[in-house]
Structure 1
Amino acid sequence: MSLSFDPEALRQLAALLNESGLAEIELEEGDRRLRLARAVAPSAAMAQPVMVPPAAIAPAAPAVATASVDMGAHPGAVKSPMVGVAYLAPEPNAPPFITVGQSIEAGQTLLLIEAMKTFNQIKAPRAGTIKQILITTGQPVEYDEPLVVIE
């Protein structure tokens, strides 16, 4: 069976992938099926940490660490259950759900992940203290990427 597709329609779908940040689009019409996928940039977990001199860090600033491969292996790491965009507060001007050093209870909301226009609460799997926050508000996250470290 020979399939033919309109090259302009394919270009428009490819542009939609880039604009929306989607990794793939799959279309099905009758017995015809088309799947377009693009290479996804490595997640922040693969990025090299940046060294900042201690004097450059303001003591009142919230501590947000860069995710690293080692943090994913930490026994207290809370990992993303999905691909989406992370938010540390319920609204843009609201206080964050959690801060470094804060004591939390099991089941407490740590952050939100927006996936497919739905905000999903990521809850603490156990009680403890927030040691590190590995993401920033508005940051895209991948499945199984470490988000927070609880001790």
Structure 2
Amino acid sequence: MARMCAERVIELDYSCNGARIRLVRESGQDDARHREAVPAVAAPVVVQDRPPADDDAGAQSLPQIIEITAQMAGQFYITPAPGEPPFVTAGDEVAEGAPLYIMEVMKMLNRMEAEFACRIIAVLCENGAGVEIGTPLFRVERTDHA
């Protein structure tokens, strides 16, 4: 019991045959051991599928295919709300700053936007799927030629 008080456990839920144990800890801001820094909104990571070309003329003629990956772990949503159409689908032209998806992290909904103009080649993740950091979400072709 002293250990539970030291760990600031404020609720205990115990079941026997279902083998359920539930501990709820007091949410204190002063316990640095259990705090994690989670960014409110993080930008998607861009990973190139192809190495850059050696000469500038060749680089501009080849399409720049890029994978956009999850920057944080959470639930991936391609639609703004249940039953609504997706933000983007394969073949869509997307402007810089346009919404791509929503990432739910710790009950916070983070709207993620395109960092550059692109064309969606493929959506690589299912709506509502749990994703980890680095999970591929989209394959895109960069259209701003940067």
Same fold, TM-score > 0.5, yes or no: yes
Asked if residue 81 in structure 1 is aligned to residue 77 in structure 2, the reply is no
5+ long unaligned stretches in structure 1: 17-24, 36-71
Distance 2:73 2:26 in 1: 17
The counterpart of 2:89, out of the listed 77, 85, 99, is 99
1:116 deviation in Å?
Answer: 1.5
Figure out how many residues of one structure are paired with residues of the other and give that number.
102
Quote the residue 1:12 is aligned against. 22
Q: CA RMSD in A?
A: 3.4
Distance 1:104 1:34 in 2: 42
Asked if residue 129 in structure 1 is aligned to residue 132 in structure 2, the reply is no
Distance 1:34 1:109 in 2: 35
Regions of 4+ moved over 2 Å: 3-6, 25-28, 72-75
TM-score (norm 1): 0.54
Amino acid at match of 1:125: E
**Bigger Rg, which one:** 2
Quote the residue 2:134 is aligned against. 144
1:5 deviation in Å?
Answer: 5.0
Alignment CA distance shift 1:5-1:73 (3 Å): farther
Amino acid at match of 1:12: R
1:4 deviation in Å?
Answer: 4.4
Distance 1:110 1:150 in 2: 11
1:125 deviation in Å?
Answer: 1.8
Distance 2:26 2:135 in 1: 25
1:145 deviation in Å?
Answer: 1.2
TM-score (norm 2): 0.56
Percent sequence identity over aligned pairs: 29
5+ long unaligned stretches in structure 2: 6-11, 14-20, 35-46, 50-64, 142-146
Alignment CA distance shift 1:105-1:142 (3 Å): same
- Which structure has greater strand proportion? 2
Distance 2:100 2:82 in 1: 16
